[in-house]
């Protein structure tokens, strides 16, 4: 797991080693163990290494092929690299290391661009071919690892993080107001390509890209929807098959030359991974949890129940008190690189901080299970609409009442109104919003300029009320929900020089999960049906029978009142906030004052504060003033290279 960056100039200007080192210095937290730069005239490649597989100097990057006709910078893990190595050796390829990086080079030489179809894992890499003056780039199927880029008449820059691309100088640091509007309004993605920075794009998941002759040609090599064609008739022992599939995924994700730990909340997903991983380890599996004793957000009893039942675990709990809330808000915004959506990032940040303090470099985490297996209550209205439109009256009645029972205080009228929302005419939607009903999002706090912006396709996706469960899950998996969670997973783990692995997003498991019948995901008021059945007797019943879905529960809202009211008031009352042209100052101030007095909640407040911090840290501050070494060094693990020293440099001349 590492950080990559690079520059290809089209204007004939040479690329200096110092200019590439500037990019990699900004992402030094991603790889404190080693650094390298390769320059070849108008091309520069940079790398920061977090040593996980083959810890020797043989894993140094940028890495050349044996004849130096190919150069690669790679971020990620190829879990089947050992099997591929054997296959490639039989085809005549030799190897100087045991790294998966070298396997990628050999696979590319053997199979060309189609090599990525053989990879199982997470990746973002770029391969430079000097003879052909060609750069081949690829990103993994689900976008677990990031790949950002900017393409201008002067050149092409790429990096694991946006800040590295901006530091290339090829594109000015300017906000993308359309993307920013969608982020503030919906707190969810509507595109896999844009960012909140104008001119900085993402290579979409499951895509390759070839840069040649100043042109970038992208192509898709995998499509999640194809798995639906393999859906069976719903027969067979689903629980047994599920256990087999997820156990295989966990086993592959434990392959490492350094110890692997796991993040453990009180939920079903992390509990499943920890229980299965503990069966595969000889020494106790290190787990890391954030708890909040004495609050409604505390998950301690579920965590302790799992430890008691599973055994072979060595748990570390941390119980932060929220006094560092503002510091986490600012740091998480710097690393996320866009406005973050809510206070749950506080727990995310704290658990990764705990992992780093525990000396662990690799952890398992449970991202993806909810989007694959319909783990959120929001999927139930979709499923009910699907049953209604398909005329399945008995199943509709059973699931309608089951969902109401699980939700506790949900009235039949309220649920019927939610089910009918997609069929309302626009005038009724507007009237419902004025009356305080319905599901329309309120853009009243945005400036008139942002309110006037329109991106119908993106908004339709962000606000869509689905009537087909498969479509809803695929949208969340590939566009709207999971991508933002994976961005946070990558940034908050790498902020502390940690590789986070996500077994639920193993390619074979994803295809299996997509093809599962709907009733194995959601039925009778229960979500993740097959997962609960499969883990019975392995994970405690108390966890399996939970229905209060929470994602990193955090007392952030309460703490914001305790420790952040003055800070929030200063930001929202500042001249910069008023004059950005993003918020409507009177509306935002009035909403904040009502929240300050305790009259109404303000769900978007964390995002507002993060947005203002984002402007101040990135847009208002010249690149030279960005907190490069100070922040990266302060977060590096003990014993790591904290100096940001000049990296090793190689040149095309050898």
Cα first-last separation, the chain = 26
In order, the DSSP letters of 314-369 are EEEEE---STTHHHHHHHHHHHH-S----THHHHHHHHHHHHHHTT--EEE--TTH
The domain segmentation of the chain, as residue ranges, is 2-222, 226-373+478-553, 557-617
pLDDT band at 402, cuts 50/70/90? confident
The average confidence (pLDDT) of the chain is 89
User: From CA 125, how far away is CA 34, in angstroms rounded?
Assistant: 17
User: From CA 429, how far away is CA 440, in angstroms rounded?
Assistant: 7
pLDDT band at 401, cuts 50/70/90? confident
Q: Residue 152: CB partners within 8 Å, gap ≥ 6?
A: 170, 171, 199
By three-state DSSP, how is residue 537 classified? Answer: coil
The answer to whether 145 and 122 have CB atoms below 8 angstroms apart is yes
Residue 542, H or E segment: helix 541-544
Phi, psi dihedrals of residue 156, rounded to the nearest 5° = -130, 135
Q: Residue 446: CB partners within 8 Å, gap ≥ 6?
A: 181, 184, 185, 582, 583, 584
Averaged pLDDT for residues 552-560: 86
pLDDT band at 457, cuts 50/70/90? low
User: From CA 640, how far away is CA 633, in angstroms rounded?
Assistant: 9
**Cα separations (Å) of 110 from 64, 67, 84, 116, 291?**
15, 14, 11, 11, 50
Most confident of 207-221, 291-305, 639-653: 207-221
The answer to whether 637 and 496 have CB atoms below 8 angstroms apart is yes
Residue with tokens 């009228």: 413
Percent of the chain with pLDDT over 70: 90
pLDDT of amino acid 137:
98
pLDDT of amino acid 426:
55
Residue 432 pLDDT > 70, yes or no?
A: no
pLDDT band at 236, cuts 50/70/90? confident
The answer to whether 73 and 46 have CB atoms below 8 angstroms apart is yes
* Lowest mean pLDDT segment, chosen from 44-58, 232-246, 261-275, 548-562: 548-562
Token pair of 258 as six digits: 């350094």
Residue 538 pLDDT > 70, yes or no?
A: yes
Q: Which residue has better confidence, 137 or 188?
A: 137
**Cα separations (Å) of 524 from 313, 368, 402?**
34, 22, 5
**Cα separations (Å) of 79 from 26, 82, 372?**
28, 8, 21
pLDDT band at 337, cuts 50/70/90? very high
The answer to whether 418 and 542 have CB atoms below 8 angstroms apart is no
Please state at what angle helix 268-280 crosses helix 300-310, rounded to 10 degrees: 20
Topology of domain 226-373+478-553, per CATH? Rossmann fold (3.40.50)
Token pair of 292 as six digits: 């909040």
> Which CATH number is correct for 2-222, 3.40.50.300, 3.40.50.12140, 3.90.650.10, 3.60.20.10?
3.60.20.10
pLDDT of amino acid 232:
73
| Sheet with 313-318: strands ordered across | 313-318, 285-290, 260-263, 362-364, 499-501
Q: Residue 194: CB partners within 8 Å, gap ≥ 6?
A: 176, 178, 179, 201, 202
Residue 117 pLDDT > 80, yes or no?
A: yes
pTM (global) more than 0.85: yes
Comparing CA positions, the residue from 493, 551, 201, 509 lying closest to residue 376 is 551
The answer to whether 114 and 130 have CB atoms below 8 angstroms apart is no
């Amino acid at each position: 797991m590492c950080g990559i960056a690079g520059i290809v100039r089209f204007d004939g200007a040479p690329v200096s080693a110092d200019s590439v080192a500037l990019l990699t210095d900004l992402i030094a937290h991603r790889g404190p163990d080693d650094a390298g730069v390769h320059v070849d005239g108008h091309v520069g490649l940079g790398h920061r290494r977090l040593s996980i597989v083959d810890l020797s100097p043989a894993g140094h990057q940028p890495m050349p092929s044996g004849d130096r006709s190919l150069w690669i910078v790679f971020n990620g893990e190829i879990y089947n690299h050992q099997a591929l190595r054997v296959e490639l050796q039989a085809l005549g390829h030799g190897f100087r290391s045991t790294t998966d990086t070298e396997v990628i080079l050999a696979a590319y030489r053997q199979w060309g661009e189609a090599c990525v179809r053989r990879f199982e894992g997470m990746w973002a890499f770029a391969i430079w071919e000097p003879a052909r003056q060609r750069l081949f780039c690829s990103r993994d199927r689900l976008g677990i690892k990031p790949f950002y880029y900017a393409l201008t008449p002067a050149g092409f820059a790429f990096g694991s993080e946006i800040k590295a691309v901006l530091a290339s100088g090829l594109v000015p640091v300017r906000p993308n107001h359309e993307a920013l509007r969608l982020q503030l309004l919906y707190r969810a993605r509507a595109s896999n390509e844009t960012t909140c920075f104008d001119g900085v794009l993402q290579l979409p998941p499951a895509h390759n890209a070839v840069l040649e002759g100043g042109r970038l040609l992208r192509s898709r090599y995998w499509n999640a929807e194809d798995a639906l064609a393999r859906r069976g008739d719903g027969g067979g022992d689903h629980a047994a098959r599920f256990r087999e599939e997820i156990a295989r995924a966990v086993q592959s994700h434990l392959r490492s030359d350094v110890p692997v730990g796991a993040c453990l909340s009180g939920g079903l997903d992390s509990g499943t991974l920890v229980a299965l991983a503990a069966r595969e380890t000889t020494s106790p599996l290190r787990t890391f949890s954030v708890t909040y004793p004495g609050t409604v957000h505390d998950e301690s009893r579920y965590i302790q129940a799992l430890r008691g039942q599973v055994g072979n675990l060595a748990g570390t709990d941390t119980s932060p008190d929220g006094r560092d809330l503002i510091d986490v808000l600012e740091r998480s915004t710097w690393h996320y690189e866009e406005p973050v959506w809510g206070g749950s990032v506080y727990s995310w940040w704290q658990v990764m901080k705990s992992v780093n303090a525990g000396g662990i470099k690799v952890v398992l985490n449970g991202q993806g299970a909810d989007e694959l297996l319909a783990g959120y209550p929001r999927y139930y209205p979709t499923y009910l609409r699907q049953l209604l439109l398909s005329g399945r009256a008995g199943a509709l009645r059973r699931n309608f009442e089951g969902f109401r029972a699980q939700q506790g205080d949900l009235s039949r009228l309220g649920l019927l109104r939610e089910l009918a929302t997609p069929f309302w005419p626009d005038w009724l939607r507007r009237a419902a919003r004025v009356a305080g009903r319905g599901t329309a999002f309120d853009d009243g706090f945005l400036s008139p300029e942002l309110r006037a912006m329109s991106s119908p396709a993106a908004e339709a996706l962000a606000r869509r009320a689905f009537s087909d469960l498969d479509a809803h899950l695929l949208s969340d998996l590939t566009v709207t929900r999971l991508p933002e969670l994976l961005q946070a997973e990558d940034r908050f783990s790498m902020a502390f020089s940690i590789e986070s692995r996500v077994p639920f997003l193993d390619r074979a498991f994803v295809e299996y999960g997509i093809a599962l019948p709907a009733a194995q995901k959601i039925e009778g008021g229960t979500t993740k049906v097959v997962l609960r059945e499969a883990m019975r007797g392995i994970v405690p019943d108390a966890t399996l029978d939970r229905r209060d879905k929470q994602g990193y529960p955090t007392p952030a809202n309460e703490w914001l009142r305790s420790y952040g009211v003055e800070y929030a008031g200063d930001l929202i009352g500042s001249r910069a906030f008023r004059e950005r042209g993003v918020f409507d100052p009177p509306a935002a101030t009035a909403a904040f004052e009502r929240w300050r007095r305790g009259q109404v909640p303000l769900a978007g407040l964390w995002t507002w504060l993060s947005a203002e911090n984002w402007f101040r840290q990135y847009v208002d501050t010249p690149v030279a003033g960005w907190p490069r070494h100070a922040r990266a060094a302060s977060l590096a693990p003990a014993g790591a290279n904290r100096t940001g020293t000049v990296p090793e440099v190689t040149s095309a001349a050898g």
